[in-house]
Amino acid sequence: MTSELERLFEHLRFPSISTDSRHVADVRANAEWLQGQFEEMGLQTELHETPGHPVIVARNERVEGRGTVLIYGHYDVQPVDPIELWDSPPFEPEVRDGRIWGRGGADNKGQHFVHMLGAEKTLKEEGELPLNVIFLIEGEEEIGSPNLVPFLNMHKDDLACDIIAVSDTGMVAPGVPTLGYGLRGITCLEVMVKGPSGDLHSGVYGGCVANPATAAARMVASLHQDDGKIAVEGFYDDVIPLEHWEREMWTKVPGTADEDFLKTTGSPEPFGEPGYTMAERLWARPTIEINGFGSGYQGEGSKTVLPAEAMFKLSCRLVPGQDPAKVQQQVEDHLRKNLPTGVTVEIHKGHSGKAYHNDPHSSYGKAAQRALTTSFGREPVLIREGGSIPIIQDMKEILGADSLMLGLALPDCQIHAPNENYSVENFQKGIEMSRELLKELSKI
Ligand code: BES
Ligand code: ZN
C-alpha cells in the first residue's frame, strides 16, 4: 500500500460522527490528527474551538499580489447504522475491487485529503505553492454546520479569498470528470403526532379514539399528489425554471439517463414530478422526502397495540429562488391544515440552507475545467447536484467567493449508507487534479 493511502486510512479510522455525543472525543482526536498533518506539510495551522466541534484552518505564507484559493472540506461523518449491513467494519478501512471501503471514504475525508496531498507534493517538488492557499476543514457539515457561519463572520478578513475549491460532490461515472455548478438547498422538519395519553389495547379501545400512526400516515400522504408533484400550496412559487441550454447539455452527460439512475438505485421505475427527466428532477427541482417514520410495535410477530404517538422527520430539497424559511412555514401550515381529527401535533423546525448556483463558464470555472481535463484525460461534464452543502452559499454571502465543485464520489459510493466506498483511481487522479487546479488558478 502506498504511504498516501496508508495516511488516508489513518484519517478514516477516526469515528468522527458529529451528530453523536458519544463521539465528541473521537471528533476532536480527528481534528488534532488533521492539524498534525498540516503542520508536517509546513503550513501555518490553527485548531479553532467552537461551541461544537473544532474547525481546522491551515495556510501557506501569504504573498501579496497573488490570488487566494480557499479549499473547503469536512472531517465529520454520518452515523454507521444499520451496522449489520456493512461487509467490513466502517472504521477499519480496506481496499477491495479498486475501492476503499469505510465511512468517510467519499464523504468527505477521501475527497479533501487529495487536496492536502496535492499541495504537499507541490510543496515538496517546487518548494512553494503557486498561489495563496487556505484550507478550511470543519467538523459539523453533516449536522448543518451550526457553528461555521459565526466562525466565518468572525474570521472574515483572515479567510478572504478569490475562489473556493470543494471536492464533496459526485462524479457521474468512472473516468468522467465532473464539475458541479449548483447544489440544492435544504430545510428540515420533525413532526410528533399525539393521541391517547398512553399506549392502548387496540381491541379494547381501537375504533373509538384516533390512532396517531394512521393520522401521521395521512399527513405524510397529503404532501404529494399521486403523480409525484408536491401538493403544498405555494411550494413551487419561487422556483427558478431550468434553462434550455442546461436541459440540452444534460441529455449528453454519461451515466445520467433514467436507466442509469434505475440501475444505481435498484428502483423498479422512475418516479417524480411529471415533465422532467430523473436528472432534472434531481438537480433542478425541489422535493419533500420522509427521512424517518416511527410508531407502534417494531418487534417480531404481532402486538395488538394502539400507539400513543407517531413521529416523522422530513427534509425538503430546495432550488435557486426558494427561501428555506418560507418553504418550512408553508410545509408546517400544510401539515396543520391536514391534521386529521382526534390527534394533536407538535412541529419542530430543523436546520436549513439555501441552494447554490454559479457560472461554470467564468474564468475560474474554465480553470477548473482545464485542471479536470488534464488530470482525467477528457473534458469534464457540467452538472448541478442533488445534495446540499449549505455552507457554500453562506461562504458566497460572507466571503463573496464562488465555489468550484470538483466531485470525486461515484454514483455507487453509498455515502450516508452502509458500505460507503471511494475509488482508488479517483484518489490517485484527484491528487493530480488538485495540483493542476492550483496551477491553473494561479494563472488568473
Ligand atoms: N457531500 C454531501 C453533499 C453532496 C453529496 C453533494 C453528493 C452533492 C453530491 C454532504 O456531506 C452532505 O451529505 N450534506 C448534507 C447536508 C445536510 C446535512 C445539511 C445533505 O445533503 O444531506
Ligand atoms: Zn454527507
- 388 CA to centre of ligand 1 in angstroms: 4
DSSP 127-187: SS-SSEEEEEEES-GGGT-TTHHHHHHHTTTTT--SEEEE--SB-SBTTB-EEE-EE-EEE
Q: Which residue's C-alpha comes closest to atom 4 of ligand 1?
A: 387
Q: Could you read off the pLDDT of 237-291 as tens digits, one per residue? A: 999 999 999 999 999 999 999 999 999 999 999 999 999 999 999 999 999 999 9
Rounded-to-integer distance, Cα 388 and Cα 163, Å:
19
Q: Which residue's C-alpha comes closest to atom 6 of ligand 1?
A: 387
Which atom, in ligand 1's list, is nearest to the CA of 351? Answer: 19
Which atom, in ligand 1's list, is nearest to the CA of 390? Answer: 19
**301 Rama class: left (phi>0) / alpha (psi -120 to 50) / beta:** left
* Residue of 137, 352, 415 best suited for mutating to test ligand 1, as the one with most atoms within 8 Å of CB: 415
List CB contacts of 267: < 8 A, sequence separation 6 or more.
Answer: 261
| Nearest-ligand number for the alpha carbon of 324 | 1
Using the structure block, give the residue that is written with the C-alpha cell 484519517: 11
- Is the domain of 419 the same as that of 312? no
Q: Could you read off the pLDDT of 100-117 as tens digits, one per residue? A: 999 999 999 999 999 999
The last residue of one of the domains, among 319, 353, 387, is: 353
What average pLDDT score do residues 436-442 get?
98
Edge-to-edge strand order for the sheet containing 421-423? 94-96, 99-101, 421-423
- Is the domain of 311 the same as that of 199? yes
- 35 CA to centre of ligand 2 in angstroms: 22
In this prediction, what percent of the chain has a pLDDT beyond 90?
99
**pLDDT band with cut points at 50, 70 and 90 for residue 2:** confident
What average pLDDT score do residues 133-144 get?
96
List the CATH number of the domain containing 427: 3.40.630.10
Q: Mapping DSSP to helix (H, G, I), strand (E, B) and coil, where does residue 260 land?
A: helix
Q: Has residue 112 been placed in a domain?
A: yes
Q: Could you read off the pLDDT of 386-419 as tens digits, one per residue? A: 999 999 999 999 999 999 999 999 999 999 999 9
Q: Which residue's C-alpha comes closest to atom 16 of ligand 1?
A: 388
- Asked whether 195 and 210 are in contact (CB, 8 A), the reply is yes
- Is the domain of 403 the same as that of 429? yes
pTM for this prediction? 0.94
Average pLDDT, the chain: 97
Q: Does the structure show a pLDDT above 80 at 1?
A: no
Counted domains in the chain: 2
* Residue of 77, 107, 178 best suited for mutating to test ligand 1, as the one with most atoms within 8 Å of CB: 107
Q: Could you read off the pLDDT of 366-384 as tens digits, one per residue? A: 999 999 999 999 999 999 9
User: Residues 342, 348, 353, CA angle at the centre, nearest 5°?
Assistant: 140
List the CATH number of the domain containing 302: 3.30.70.360
- Is the domain of 175 the same as that of 41? yes
Residues with CB under 6 A from ligand 1: 107-108, 141-142, 144, 168-170, 186, 353, 385, 387-390, 409
Q: Which residue's C-alpha comes closest to atom 9 of ligand 1?
A: 169
Q: Has residue 278 been placed in a domain?
A: no
Q: Has residue 121 been placed in a domain?
A: yes
What average pLDDT score do residues 53-75 get?
98
- Is the domain of 139 the same as that of 230? no
The last residue of one of the domains, among 334, 353, 372, is: 353
- 19 CA to centre of ligand 2 in angstroms: 12
| Residue 317 lies in domain | 185-239+286-353
- 138 CA to centre of ligand 1 in angstroms: 14
Q: Has residue 271 been placed in a domain?
A: no
- Is the domain of 209 the same as that of 291? yes
The last residue of one of the domains, among 304, 332, 353, is: 353
- 263 CA to centre of ligand 1 in angstroms: 21
- Is the domain of 169 the same as that of 290? no
Best CA proximity match to 54, nearest among 85, 83, 88, 14: 14
